[in-house]
Structure 1
């Protein structure tokens, strides 16, 4: 009889904080997350009918790292590649330590939590249990034979961990009674801009969806000294919006052309954007920023997206090291995500699931620099050099 393994990541965030100046450095882990995040975002954008897209690739990567410790040989190789190379144990250890670090943050603004539900018919393999402990994953038994009750239990956990922002990520029809294990990851981020926008200055302004279509959007305005850069090769300019808490910020990537987002995404997926992020520097004058308020919700089919970024074997190859005396294989993978940006900050969230089936200066100041975000753009929410969320806004 087939048994299912369900892996789900929940990500929820509210825009917040960061102090001016970079007091951290670029790391190998940050580079790996950067490149994979942009690849996943590009594929998500290409597949989506609605080109407003939000994703948390980091949530996917954390679960893949956890799954890797019990995966088959070919799956391990693919997962190691997407996680940045290195030996399997090294990857799990690196991402486990990152998970531990984030787990110690104040949950008022950042929560990273993992949960593993196990059918009473199964026990986790010893080595996998040790990895789960490294990731600080809670482990509970659950009756997947009652899909409605199982979904209710999972959704209550999601609701609690995301402070009510993600209430029902799992429906009854997503729970197969034969499921052996369900693994969940939550990333919840909440905060406020270092310098909030003045709501009284928000007004309806033109937003160019494409060369032929213009709509009105409630647009926020801020006159502030911000980090800024231009990249002719990328075909875009970038600004950084800091948050109150150290290390967190949003980076807005605005294509030079109204219809330039697909080309920018393609180039970003090839090289990543972290180098450009670290090239951001004070503009030398105030920037007159105009950016629309927006809210995005996305549903991502990771069964389609993951193979496009190099991870396909988890859907085919039995994983011998997840549960004792049996094997599992991922049968379904998904993520549901959202982001909301307004004058005070933003709220962003994502829920990812994988279902696996085991087989066994004083002078006169210079004039301000206009930065009008009035056409489709890309945005990132980062902590230090790690991308937590990545998205596109097109309409």
Structure 2
């Protein structure tokens, strides 16, 4: 770079998601769109969900490559929301790359903002799923009016001035806001060391889910059982058990089965896609790249299922610069980045990093989860006897998703390893 060229100042994009079971209480979600808008809204929502699912599997694939052997959990909606807020301030090639890489349905800033507003507004007053956006701006710098209005009205994001030069205080302010929005589950999202006098903007999205299963797993049915890490290694883990009518699908094209576990008093559910073999997750993930979530959810049908699912917790943190670069969004991190629509001043800006952190806890009462999508040309429904219950035994690595209205993935994840965790044996009722 020539010495005379102004040095681009930094933008930080921070996303975090927290999922915590709601142990003794189920809270209702607010109503969705009015009946007069149903057709148009449904079409827009379906397209938004389809594109988010594609973005989800793309990110999931890169994270699996980047962190092999780790349990992954992330919120594709959280990541996409934060990056979309940055997109509203972008122009030129930077904007084009973000449109393509994020899978946005439009290149118009107003329409982009409106598509996210549909989901954000749905859960604005929800006690089960909380989504919050925030933009922190360097003191002495003003946002451009159009950018500020889109963030405030459509992303429900208020701007707050901070002095990034006082990096410890600035980090404490940001992290305090995140902790407050996530019931203190996500702490220290942004380290003070990444903030300095050159920082100009920090965009943050926090998403927190807590819900109870519609059909809870009885605690007396949880017992030690084997979880196969691969075809040679296994561990003993607490395995939950339940027999109930669930939506289930046999997916021969994926060499897998799928199960939907709904949450009480909401339109949210967990979708689990289980490979048929102990070492089949990698092959399943490859096939999922060519499928839509709707192909899986449309194959689901209600039947009696004996479910065995391990209790598990996972915490996951990742810096997403490399993932975004591999998805074709590299210019935003370079000195050629074009974010001229953010600030009133003409100071050059670039993204310094995208930090994402997630936590999940799945137990007998409830959960929070992440989603998967897949590659299937056609899904055939198996003929299932009504007399004989299907067994869905999640005793091997699997992938899962927390879905809004079946096809919009709010969280996405995989379970590939569990630690040895013996629990006392006791008398249990047979399922």
Q: Same fold (TM over 0.5)?
A: yes
CA distance in 1, matches of 2:113, 2:327: 19
Relative to structure 1, the CA distance from residue 346 to residue 160 in structure 2 (aligned partners, 3 Å threshold; closer, same or farther) is same
Aligned to 2:331: 313
Contact 1:338 1:348 (C-alpha < 8 Å) held by counterparts: no
Contact 2:128 2:210 (C-alpha < 8 Å) held by counterparts: yes
Deviations 1:335-380 (A, max 9, x none): 111111000112469xxxxxxxxxxxxxx96122111000000000
Say which of 66, 80, 99 aligns to 1:47.
66
Q: Does 1:366 align with 2:390?
A: no
**What's the C-alpha RMSD, in Å, of the aligned pairs?**
2.1
Say which of 292, 307, 329 aligns to 2:310.
292
Q: Does 1:11 align with 2:32?
A: no
Q: Does 1:270 align with 2:276?
A: no
Say which of 105, 109, 117 aligns to 1:96.
117
CA distance in 1, matches of 2:128, 2:271: 18
CA distance in 2, matches of 1:377, 1:365: 26
After TM superposition, which residue ranges in structure 1, 4 or more long, deviate above 4 angstroms?
A: 15-19, 23-26
CA distance in 2, matches of 1:228, 1:345: 19
Give 1:158-307 correspondences, 5 Å limit. Answer: 158-283=178-303, 286-307=304-325
Give 1:25-44 correspondences, 5 Å limit. Answer: 27-44=46-63
Stretches of structure 2 that go unaligned for 5 or more consecutive residues are: 1-6, 33-37, 371-384, 418-431
From the two aligned structures, give the one with the greater strand fraction.
Answer: 1
TM-score (norm 2): 0.82
Aligned residues: 374
Aligned to 1:391: 413
Contact 1:97 1:135 (C-alpha < 8 Å) held by counterparts: no
Aligned to 1:128: 147
Contact 1:38 1:272 (C-alpha < 8 Å) held by counterparts: no
Aligned to 2:4: none
Shift of 1:123: 0.9
CA distance in 1, matches of 2:325, 2:291: 19
**Which secondary structure does the structure 1 equivalent of 2:254 belong to?**
coil
CA distance in 2, matches of 1:141, 1:262: 45
CA distance in 1, matches of 2:9, 2:241: 53
Shift of 1:75: 2.1
Give 1:62-101 correspondences, 5 Å limit. Answer: 62-81=81-100, 82-89=102-109, 90-101=111-122
Aligned to 1:331: 352
Greater RCO between the two (CA within 8 Å, min separation 6)? 1
**Which secondary structure does the structure 1 equivalent of 2:349 belong to?**
coil
TM-score (norm 1): 0.89
